[in-house]
Amino acid sequence: MSLHTPTVITILLMALGCYGCRAGGYWLLTRVRPSAAVQTVFSYIPGCLFVSFVIPAVIGGGPKEWVGAAVALLTVILTGSVIWPIFTGTGAAWMVWLLVGTAQAAEAPRWQTLLAESNFATQWQSVGDVQWRWEQGALLGNAGDGFVVSNARYSNFELSVEVLIEPQTNSGVFIRCSDAKDISPTNCYEVNLWDDRDGAFATGSIVQRVESATKLRASGQWSTLTVRAQGTHLQVKLNNTPAVELDDAAHAEGHLALQFRGSGSVRFRKVEIRPL
């Protein structure tokens, strides 16, 4: 239950625009008669607007969109109903999604465990002065300022991290870091984990780049942060809720880093990656 300022502004502008057209049309056009040309253009707009939405969405989609659209179209032509196509089209898209999902699961690269007590010494390095230690299968940081940084570099991947923080904890997951010894929001993309951060770029945001539209909280319970990085497109989700998306070409590949800084504590477990 929350209101987010840019969202509310957008909604109110939409409301103003809608009411402006409803009332403004009467107000204006009873005083100034629109030319026949304007009336003609307006008469084509609703249909063309829907076409402009549907065509790129269907063509740019995948098998799910193609089959769903065909079934919806067929239904509306056969039945003349505008209700049934919603169900048949969605149902068809859903079936394709299930089939494709099953096929892909068999082929897709498997998730690999990145961080474990067994590989911590050989595949990760500590940068900074945090005394990282393992506790019940999770990597714990609760004093100092620093990172654990992967030796390997990654470019296109889906990363999943389970994390437990406190509200005041300043943590974060850094990806595509150019310099393993110098981890910063400038040298990497920093996905923030900091619930009580005042001002911008709290949990779920990519620091200095894009702010989460919704107020997300990771503290108090184990939360799953996923980051999908493919080409210049980044997608962040927290507990499966979309946080941010970013298109940016600054960093194409690099190290991964997990942060702890200052007060509170952070625990990481099940850090897994799947190449794309």
Partner 1 sequence: MSNALPVTFTRAGFLRGVRASPPLLIGGLPFGLVAGLTAQAHGLSFLESTLMSATVFAGSAQLIALGVWAAPVSVSTVSLASLTMNLRFLLMGPLLAPWMDHLRGWRRWLSLFFMIDHNWALALKEIEKGERDAAFLIGSGVPIWIVWVVSSIVGHLSGSLIHTGPGHPLFFAALSTFIALLVPMWRGKSDLLPWLVAGSVALVVSQALPHTAWHIVIGALAGGITGLLQQRWRPS
Residue list 110-169, contact with partner 1 (CB under 8 A) = none
CB of 238 to partner 1, least distance (A): 11
Q: Which of 176, 237, 251, 267 binds partner 1 (CB under 8 A)?
A: 237
Which stretch, 35-43, 102-110, 140-148, 152-160, contacts partner 1 (CB under 8 A)? Answer: 35-43
Q: Is 73 in the site for partner 1 (CB under 8 A)?
A: yes
Which stretch, 61-69, 137-145, 157-165, 261-269, contacts partner 1 (CB under 8 A)? Answer: 61-69
Q: Is 2 in the site for partner 1 (CB under 8 A)?
A: yes
Q: Is 69 in the site for partner 1 (CB under 8 A)?
A: yes
Q: Is 199 in the site for partner 1 (CB under 8 A)?
A: no
Which stretch, 29-37, 109-117, 150-158, 186-194, contacts partner 1 (CB under 8 A)? Answer: 29-37
Q: Is 214 in the site for partner 1 (CB under 8 A)?
A: yes
Q: Is 176 in the site for partner 1 (CB under 8 A)?
A: no
Q: Is 264 in the site for partner 1 (CB under 8 A)?
A: no
Q: What pairs with residue 128 in β-bridges?
A: 146
Q: How far is it, in rounded angstroms, from Cα 253 to Cα 232? A: 10
Which stretch, 152-160, 185-193, 210-218, 256-264, contacts partner 1 (CB under 8 A)? Answer: 210-218
CB of 204 to partner 1, least distance (A): 9
Q: How far is it, in rounded angstroms, from Cα 223 to Cα 173? A: 13
